[in-house]
Amino acid sequence: MMVAEKQPALGFQQQAHAEADEMELELASPAGSPAPLPPRKMHSLDFEHIGSLAAVAESLAPGSRWRRALTSVRVVIFQAKINVLLPFGPLAIMLHYLSGTHQGWVFLFSLIGITPLAERLGYATEQLACYTGPTVGGLLNATFGNATEMIISIYALKNGMIRVVQQSLLGSILSNMLLVLGCAFFAGGLVHSNRDQVFNKASAVVNSGLLLMAVLGLMFPAVLHFTHSEAQYGKSEVALSRFSSCIMLVAYASYLFFQLKSHRSMYCPIGDEEEAAEEEEDEKEITQCEAICWLFILTIWISILSGYLVDAIQGASESLNLPVAFISVILLPIVGNAAEHASAIMFAMKNKLDITLGVAIGSSTQISMFVIPFCVVIGWMMGQEMDLNFQLFETATLFITVLVVAFMLQEGTSNYFKGLMLILCYLIVAASFFVHVDPDATGEN
């Protein structure tokens, strides 16, 4: 009887505890305890009723596509402080349509607006290089780093501004070899001041030879013009330029095969490859697919701004009282080389001098052996008489610059003093073009 009397009491207690548990579950589900069956059915029915909430929750999961895209936008757009200059691009376009008389401001705003885009283009290329290795990475840095110059050149060719194309491409070569390489050597030398930095001497010698070949291709049309020894005046130098351009393109294609296929081991970086690989793994912030997508987006936006920049050059020269030669040779390349500038200095400070040379000297080689001949061929297709006659002053400047850089690279070492000398040489070149009057602008031959 006593047992029978206790059983109802025990059942009543269990029922009371069960009701209390259900009430607590409705208010707040305790962590770690399995939910009773009725509440789980209720939540399941709620999700079925709402429908899209499950998809939204799944889309915001850590590995989801949308979350990855938002992270990529944050890293590329909002993480870099230089992107505070991005609004200057839309401002330049608005100012172009609102007022056609302030071409100087349109030029300056376009110039400032392209700067962060070129730097982010270099960042995206650098991220892509983390997946491709140092040799291909240096080539990618040079290629996409020169995308700005190529786009500006095509727009200028379309408008018949041949001298702007010639001078801007010449300025890119001078800027890469003197300013970019000089700043990289200087910064790397200060960070590693206890010893000289070492790079692959063999690859540097090959690039120096290609630069001298480019000077050869540019020199003969100029000499032919200024010695008045053409078989057909005004036509022979154009024909020679087109023939030489085709030869230079073949030489550059052979160089790519030599670099990437037949003599790949010659371009292996000097140093601890395992440590470099670990550092590159740590540098990966976006995926390979995202890096490729950003390259296309940034290239399109740069191409849009380049059109407004080229249209405003002449007006900016008059309103700012600056020679067109100075704008084309000094100002445009500094903006166009922002990607190479940032990448080269960063790699030099990390003691990766081979990638630095691949970016700076490789970019100069690519412009002289590919971009300039490519523009001659494109101008040929457009009906523009783009040639390799860069005039005597510009050709002599390029020849002396190549010799200076070749002597700096012959030892296979770098330090901050070599970098300082290259920077000072660039200041002399910039001052020379500030007081230089283009013969074509004055009608002289």
pLDDT score at 431: 93
pLDDT band at 19 (very low <50, low <70, confident <90, very high): low
CB 370 within 8 Å of CB 143: no
CB 204 within 8 Å of CB 361: yes
User: What percentage of the chain exceeds 70 in pLDDT?
Assistant: 75
Our count of domains for the chain comes to 1
Higher-confidence residue: 371 or 17? 371
Task: Flag whether pLDDT at 32 surpasses 80.
Answer: no
Kindly state the average pLDDT of the residues 302-319: 81
pLDDT band at 132 (very low <50, low <70, confident <90, very high): confident
Q: Report pLDDT digits (tens) over 230-242.
A: 777 767 888 999 9
pLDDT score at 49: 42
pLDDT score at 282: 47
Say how far residue 250 (Cα) sits from the centre of its chain.
Answer: 25
Q: Is 51 contained in some domain?
A: no
- CA dihedral sign, ordered 195, 201, 207, 209: positive
Nearest to 356 by CA among 133, 172, 181, 171: 181
Q: Report pLDDT digits (tens) over 68-84.
A: 778 888 888 887 777 88
Q: Is 261 contained in some domain?
A: yes
CB 184 within 8 Å of CB 336: no
Q: Is 379 contained in some domain?
A: yes
Q: Is 211 contained in some domain?
A: yes
Residue 388 sits in which domain range?
Answer: 76-435
Q: Is 295 contained in some domain?
A: yes
Domain with residue 144: its CATH number is 1.20.1420.30
Task: Flag whether pLDDT at 363 surpasses 60.
Answer: yes
Q: Is 177 contained in some domain?
A: yes
Q: Report pLDDT digits (tens) over 387-402.
A: 888 888 999 999 999 9
> Which stretches does DSSP call E strand in 208-279?
none
pLDDT score at 42: 42
For all residues of the chain together, what is the average pLDDT? 77
pLDDT band at 441 (very low <50, low <70, confident <90, very high): low
3-state helix, strand, coil in the chain (%, to 5): 80, 0, 20
Q: Is 36 contained in some domain?
A: no
Kindly state the average pLDDT of the residues 251-274: 71
Q: Is 277 contained in some domain?
A: yes
CA pair distance 380, 386, nearest whole angstrom: 7
pLDDT band at 419 (very low <50, low <70, confident <90, very high): very high
Task: Flag whether pLDDT at 251 surpasses 80.
Answer: yes
Q: Report pLDDT digits (tens) over 40-53.
A: 444 444 444 444 43
pLDDT score at 101: 61
